[in-house]
Every structure is written in structure tokens, then in C-alpha cells.
Structure 1
Amino acid sequence: MRFMIIRKADKNTEAGTMPSTELITAMMKYNEEMIQAGVMLAGEGLQPSAKGARIKFSAGRPTVFDGPFAETKELIAGFTMIQVQSRQEAIDWVKRWPALDGDGAVELELRQVFEAEDFGDEFTPELRETEERLRQQSADLHNNANS
């Protein structure tokens, strides 16, 4: 089961305040523990919403809105993707998040990622094959770009 741990934004992340050396060290230790346990798939911090954009579609036509965005509580400052055996195991990992983050007042959200089998019969064998091929192509392109 894959889960995304979403680090909610706050006034400091939206201001672009960089984390302290102590917090970076604590996050690296946390990430290392997850990597050594074989559960961490990816993790990244995000730039403030002032550097972002929202694209809203209406009648199939996109409109672009530049950041910053007012509702900080609805914004994401970063994410971590993990793969574990159960929801409880995911929660257990989230509970180990470094307490230094957000001066001890950080908000995290845990969301399970859809897997192919979750889509039922609508996700036909042909569509599954296409999805697997696209994932492989993406991985190959990424690996070649980093070589």
C-alpha cells in the first residue's frame, strides 16, 4: 500500500523561511530510517505558493491564477511517499515525524494512493498494460536524464 504524507503549509513555509540546520538534520535522520526500513519512495519540499500557479478549467478551458494563495491551511509545503503493509504502519511512521518541524506545531495529512486494482473492471487489461508501459517509459527517461 502506498501513502502520501502531506506536510501542510504554514506562515513560515509560505514566507520561504528555510529550515534550520537542526531541522534538516532531523528530517534527514527520519528519511534515512524510512529508507533503511524500505518504506520511503520519494520526498520533497515545495516552494511557497507565491512561486506557483493554479489552473482552473471551466467548460474545458484553462485559466491560470498566479500565487500566492490566501488560505495557507489548504496549501502543501512538501510530501513524502511511502510504501507499507497497512494504514496503521503508515500512521506509525507519520507519528515519528521530527518534532522540530513547525516548532512542534506541524500539521500532516496521510492519504492512500490508488492502486490499479482499486479501479475494478473499468481499468481493462489493455489500460493496465498501457499504464505499465508509460510508467516504464517515464522511469527510463528519468534514469537516462540522470546518467
Structure 2
Amino acid sequence: MRVMVLVKATEDSERGFDPTPETMAMMEAMGRFNDELENAGVLVMADGLQPSSAARRVAFDGPDRTVIDGPFPHPRELVAGFWLWEVKDMDEAVAWVKRCPNPMPGPSEIEIRPVYALSDLTPD
């Protein structure tokens, strides 16, 4: 099964990347973790996202479209980075996330969401 693993944003990540010794050590630890994922055949794709100040949203209402410039409120509801993994089940995904270095200074959260497979969308 494929899962998208979402690193939730924080107030710090919304300020942008600051290459301090602490953040550089975190990046090195995350690089080693990504190497483990790749060597295990789990990693499909991974990337970090720029702060929402560089983002835009497009709101849909029937035929109308409204563009909303960032930054967006409520950083903990935003995504700062992601992985796409191929795992056997959610238990394996959870086990990998538990091994992950903390992706942010201070408290942070990672969300795991299954990706729809074509078989999930077609009637039996």
C-alpha cells in the first residue's frame, strides 16, 4: 500500500529555513533516515515545502475561482514536508514514523494517510 506521510508545519517552519547548527544537524539526521527508507525500498518520493508565505490557494465556488495569497493562518494545520512510501500496511508505516528523527525544533506531528488505489475506487 502507498501512504503519504505529512510533516505538519509549526510556527518555526513558517518563518522559513534558518541554517543554524541545530537545524543543520536535524537535516543530516533526516538525510540518514531517508537513506534508510530508500535502502529498505520504502521511499517513493520526499520533499520539504517552503513556508505558506510563498504559497497560493485557489478557492472554488461553482464556476468562480478566487486566488488567496499566503501566508495562511494556523501553522499546525499546514504541511511543511512529505514522503510518499510503499509499505505493506499502516503498522509498517507507523513503525517507520516512530524511527524518524523529530523533523522540527520542539514538539511536532507527523500524519500518515493511505493513498487510494484504483481497486479502492472500482466496484467489486
TM, length-normalised to structure 2: 0.92
* Structure with the largest fraction of strand: 2
Q: Aligned with 1:102: secondary structure?
A: coil
Specify the alignment match of 1:116 in structure 2. Answer: 118
* Structure with the largest fraction of helix: 1
Q: Aligned-pair distance for 1:121? A: 3.1
Aligned-pair identity in percent equals 39
| Structure 2 unmatched ranges of 5 or more | none
- Aligned residue runs from structure 1 range 23-102, under 5 A: 23-99=26-102, 101-102=103-104
CA distance in structure 2 between the aligned counterparts of 1:9 and 1:76, rounded to whole angstroms: 5
CA distance in structure 2 between the aligned counterparts of 1:52 and 1:9, rounded to whole angstroms: 14
Q: Aligned-pair distance for 1:90? A: 0.5
Number of residues paired by the alignment?
Answer: 121
Q: Which deviates more from structure 2 when the two are superposed, residues 52-61 or residues 35-44?
A: 52-61
Runs of 4+ residues deviating >6 angstroms: none
| 1:105 and 2:91 are equivalent in the alignment | no
Q: Aligned-pair distance for 1:17? A: 2.8
Task: Give RMSD over aligned pairs.
Answer: 1.4
Cα deviation digits, residues 65-104 of structure 1 (max 9, x gap): 00001111110000011001011001001111103x3235
Specify the alignment match of 1:8 in structure 2. Answer: 8
CA distance in structure 2 between the aligned counterparts of 1:12 and 1:34, rounded to whole angstroms: 26
| Structure 1 unmatched ranges of 5 or more | 123-147
Q: Which deviates more from structure 2 when the two are superposed, residues 15-24 or residues 58-67?
A: 15-24
